[in-house]
Amino acid sequence: MQHEPGLTVTHQPRSAHLHVLAVSGDLDHHTSPRLQAAVDDLALAPGDALVVDLSALAFCDSTGVSILVAAHQRAREAGAQAALAGLAPDIAHAFKIMSLDRLLSVHDTVEDAVTALD
C-alpha cells in the first residue's frame, strides 16, 4: 500500500477580525482545493487580517503557490491584510527565487505576522 500525503487546513480565529489558517502536509495539485475552500469560506472584511501558518507545510508545488497568491489577492480585494508565517527554509528559498517575498508578507512565526498586521 502506497502512502499518499494529505493536507490539513484548520481555521484558528484569534478574534472577530484576525483569522489564522494552519496548513499542514503537502500543498499540491491534488490537495490545494482544501486550502482554496478554507480561504473561500472566510468572510473577510475591511480591516480584517489573514495569517496562513505554513510551519507544518512539508511540500508546496506551483499550484499551492498559486493558491497562496490568490489568498493574498482575495484579502486585498476585501480590504483585509494577509501574511504567511513559518515557511520552511527550502520553501522560503523558492519563494525568494520567484520574488514572492516582494509580493507577499512573509514572517518567521504566526506571532511575528500578527504583530506586523496589528
Task: Give the model confidence (pLDDT) of 12-53 as tens digits.
Answer: 999 999 999 999 999 999 999 999 999 999 999 999 999 999
Asked if residue 3 has pLDDT above 60, the reply is: no
SS3 assignment, position 26:
strand
CA nearest to 34, candidates 45, 50, 22, 20: 22
Q: What are phi and psi of 5, to 5 degrees?
A: -60, 150
Please answer whether residues 39 and 74 qualify as being in contact, where contact means their C-beta atoms are separated by less than 8 angstroms.
yes
Q: Residue for cell digits 489573514?
A: 50
Q: Where are the beta strands (DSSP E) in the chain?
A: 7-11, 18-27, 49-60, 81-85, 106-107
